């Protein structure tokens, strides 16, 4: 049953991103990166209030 709940949450986020003209893939990547880095400005992570985080340049070895 938990699997259905997870899918429902992802579809809800996807539709919210569509309604707010946000690229879903970039949104998810940004939000997960910010959360891993300790960002706690959760309001800015909600699709209707979303403000993209600072893009960090990827270092190439």
Residue 12 token pair: 């809800």
Nearest Cα neighbor of 10 from 35, 40, 47 is 47
Q: What is the pLDDT of residue 5?
A: 85
The fraction of the chain above a pLDDT of 90, given in percent, is 67
Which is more confidently placed, 40 or 56? 40
- The number of CA neighbours under 13 Å toward the Cβ of 48 is 1
Predicted TM-score (pTM) of this structure:
0.75
Q: What is the pLDDT of residue 56?
A: 55
pLDDT, averaged across the chain = 87
State pLDDT tens for residues 9-29. 999 999 999 999 999 999 999
């Amino acid at each position: 049953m938990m699997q259905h709940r997870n899918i429902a949450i992802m579809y809800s986020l996807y539709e919210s991103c569509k309604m707010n003209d946000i690229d879903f893939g970039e949104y998810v990547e940004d939000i997960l990166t910010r959360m891993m880095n300790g960002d706690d400005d959760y309001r800015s992570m909600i699709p209707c209030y979303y403000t993209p985080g600072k893009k960090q340049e990827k270092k190439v070895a």
